[in-house]
Structure formats: structure tokens, C-alpha cells
Structure 1
Amino acid sequence: DLVFQIGTAKYGVGDNKGQLSDKRLIEISAHDQVRMFEIKLSQGAKPGKGGILPGIKVTEEIARIRGIEPGSDSLSPNRDPDLETIDDILDRIAHIRTVTGKPVGFKTVIGSKGWLVRLFEACLDRGIDSAPDFITIDGAEGGSGAAPMGLIDYMGLPIHESLPLVVDMLVRLGLKDRVKVIASGKLITPPDIIWAFCIGADAVVSARGFMFSLGCIQAQQCDKDTCPTGITTHNPRLQRGLVVEEKAQLVANYVRNINKGIRLICHSCGVHEPSELDRNHCRIVMPNGRSVPLDEIYPIQLPATEE
């Protein structure tokens, strides 16, 4: 199953003028394995900055998919210029959902909660069917080796702060059952993933864990075409370091062990699956060695109508 992410440059679903193409959306959504569409507003590794895929990496295949010239630099703006307001975001979600007939949400790293409050209130004003089907919360722990260190280290809220903030906001406004929350940001071990489910995430996604299982050593050369392990390079000599048949087994082992560890913790907590976990199941060990219940750190919220 695939989530088709629509970036700020709309590569793959844009026309030759950079506008969203309904024709391309319909073509992409016709693939059964494309289950939903995710609008990328920002990412944890470099909030507020766009992206550059150097021309040396723009092969004929990539150029065909993106609709650009082979060998030319592929530039993505730091934001989608068509999404200036809350209404723009909700209108875009509604449009893609209508055209494709599939769930639509967005991915963002949280800096300030003010715009999310306005977005959720707008959903209530329009009707809850106008709300995004899901929101992917990306922590500031983003792992792109092509991002400036100033953005990696200092911009955006970490997932341990942003996830409870968003979950509690949705619960308070009565939208949690309507909007699914996906957590992302250095959640690569069973305990980390379990924590996210206890907070209220409906799903957890990871890129870093799979990169590590492939052999990533965090050389931070992703954008230079010099990745020493062959993962993010088109240099044939360096690519020899990535033997697909061998790495496939390592990735499969990672997935199996992650799932095994999650099931183990769930069963020890007396639940069948992580969706049954809540904040009563978790305690956080503090620096002084004492543990504190998670629901004391982040008190369980009730919808405003139930208070």
C-alpha cells in the first residue's frame, strides 16, 4: 500500500505550469496500491525550507515522473504558493478527495498551534466532513541528511511535544474520531512506537528505521551523490555497496522484529493491539530515576461538551 505525497512543487500531479492537474490525479488514483493522498506542508528536517534534487541525480526515469528535463536541477519551493490560508488548505483537501475518491490529509511539523486551532475551528464551521482524513505530525527530529543543521537542530517542536498537543486539541474539539493522527519523527523502536500509540496516535510511520536497516551510517551526504553505502547515490561504483537481495532480508528482519516487539509489549499490557493502548498504560522514567504516569504528564482530555 502506498501514500502518494504531493510536495510543494506538485511533481507527478502538476501540469507544465506548476498547477495541480486533475488528469494526473485521476491517473495516479487509478492505481489500487495508492490508498490515500498526503499534502506536504512541511517536514521535520527542514521546516520553512524547500528542496533541491541536483541535476546529476535527475535520471530520465525521474525526469519523466516529475515532468522536467533530465539532468536539470529539480527545485521545490519552501511552501505551496497556492496554499496561503486555512480555507486554501481545506479547499485543496476537498478538491483532491472529490477528484480521486480517496482519503486526503496533510503532513506538517508543528511550530505554533495557532494555525491548527483556526483550521480545526474552520472544519467545525464548514462541517466535520470538510476536515482532513488524517494529519501526519512530523517531529523536529527529521532525519534528512540534506537539511541545514540550523533547521535540523533548532526549528519545530519534537514529536514528544507536538503529538500530545495535536491529539489533545482534536479531542477537545470533538474531532479525534474524524481525523486520524499519524506520528513520525525518530520513532524506530517498539517502546518509542508504543509511546506514540499511548499518547493517541492512530498509526506510526518511519523512514529512519528503514534507512538504518538498509545500512545508512548518517554520513549526511544525501544530496552530494557521494553516499558511501550506496543508498542515496547514482554513482555506479558506490551503488555496488547496496546489494538488493541482501538488504531486502535486513529490511524484512527489521519489520518482523518491530512488529514482534510491539506485540510483546501490547500483550504484556493486557491488550491485543496498539490501538487499544492509552495513557493509563505508560509511565515515564524521569531523570531522578522515579517514574511518573503518562496521564499525569499529559492529562487525558475530554471533549468540551462532556466537561
Structure 2
Amino acid sequence: MKPLVIEHITKSYGKVQALKDVSFEVERGELFGFIGPDGAGKTSLFRILTTLIKPDSGTATVLGMDVIEDYRSIRPKLGYMPGQFALYQDLSVRENMNFFASVFGTTLEENYDLVAPIYSQLEKFEDRLAGALSGGMKQKLALSCALIHKPELLVLDEPTTGVDAVSRQEFWEMLQRLNAEGITVIASTPYMDEAEQCDRVALIDEGKILQIDTPAKVVQSFNKPILAVKATSMYWLIKELRSYQWSHSVQPFGEYVHYTDQREVPNADELKAYLSDAGLSGISIKPTSPDIEDSFIALMQNRNIHE
């Protein structure tokens, strides 16, 4: 039995179609990631999976049960962490833990071993109000509360949004450990670099899944040479690159711009001369390798062309 089987799910809010014929499956023991920008449909999908809203059409089975017919049986088997901090801010760390344990008919003491690697980092703050915790600590408390009843499936909606880079990395390391213990995890994120933490990823935008594969194979699907271009003025560099007659794609990546050409092999010397003639200085052009974000942007552009 697969933990998740989603077939042709659609969901609209008035005239806005949040999900468009979404289908995918998650294998038992996977760490499966949904990667996409804000408004891509991730939260709507996760609310359907956790039986909080109904789809307009299509079917979704979670742990072999239908999300509409069997919602009462599904909920105790899920651990859910919504995108916004949803614990009781005026309760202490320990009070939140005790409350969520009691909801599922257990206690923190009974299931302490389940959350010990995470909760042990919070114990010295047990008496602090949840609302007074840092972003990273709130994240760990929310994950502990989602795990206290030993769920079969952990659903995390953008769990690392709004926290610092170190806390993000620590959180994914915790998910990797939980996954290694046999818990199936499905998580969404707008951060492309976090895709590499997953066994498989689904790239989603405007309610449609663009590709599902391992992170490595998603990157391998990008089949154009990329040039990393830098100059003293990022604004004028992007403007001039987009005006270049052979320009195919121009995307800022940190201090560089990733440039792809309409031709099979871009001419770096010709491009440098063009930029120099346009008045740019400090020009650097070098080949670079694609990443998940390059692949995602290419898939979006290809979809827009064919729609």
C-alpha cells in the first residue's frame, strides 16, 4: 500500500484554479518534496491530503483511505505542520507538548523517545511561552508536536519559511533522521536548494505539476549550455542580455546571471564584445552547471510557450 495516491485532483476558489489535474504517488519511506513558488498550489494540495478541505474533482487516498469518506480514520495517523506557526502562543513549550499528546490519547512521557532528538534541544526552554521562541525553536516545537503520537505520514507545509539558513539546514537534517527511521515525509518549500534533500521532488507552478523525478534527474533534464555572466552593474547587465539577438533565457543567480543562448553553442567572445560595446565593464563570462532552479525556470518557460 502506497501512503499517497493522488489522481486528477482539481481545486478552485471562485475563478482562481489552485490545482489543475494533479496526479502523483508517494512510496512508503520516501522523503518527497513539493517545490514551487508562493501561489503554486502547495498549501491547497496539503490541506486536501490532511482532510481539511475537499477537492472539486479527482480522488486522493492517504494510507489506503479516501480523504473524504475516511477522514476520521486518516487524521490520527497523520502528523501535520502547517505553513504558519499554529501552536498556542500563550502556552509554554511543555504545555503545548502535553496538550497535543493528550489530543491523541498519549503523553509526552510515554512517547518521549519519538521526539527526544528534537525535543531535547527545547527542554531548557520548557517553561518559556511558545510565542516567545525564536523562529528555529518554534519550528522544532511544531515538529515535536506533530510527531508525539507516532504518525505514519508526516506532512509539512513550507516548514522552513522565514527561518535562518542554519535553522533550515538543521531542520532538514532532522527530517532525514526521521525518514531513516521509516516515517514517510512529504514536505513543501519555495526554496529550490532544499530539493536536494529529498528522494524525489515534484516541481509545481500555477496549480500544475511540471515534473516529478529525483533531484539529480531533474537537473539532468536541462539540456542547454549555461554561461555565468557578471559585470559591475547587474541592472544594465540583465537589460542588455535580454536585448541580445541570440538571448534565450536570462536569470539572476547571486552575483552572476545565468544566460542561455538560442544557438546550440553560445559564443562567449561575441557576447563579451556585445556587452563591452554596450558600455558595461568588469565583464566575466564562464561556463557553469545547471541546478534545480535552472530546470524549474526552463519548465515554466516551456509550459508558457505551449499554453
Tell me the TM-score normalized by structure 2.
Answer: 0.28
Query: Which structure is higher in RCO with an 8 Å CA cutoff and minimum separation 6?
Result: 2
Larger-gyration structure (1/2): 2
Q: Give the structure with the higher percent strand.
A: 2
TM-score by length of 1: 0.28
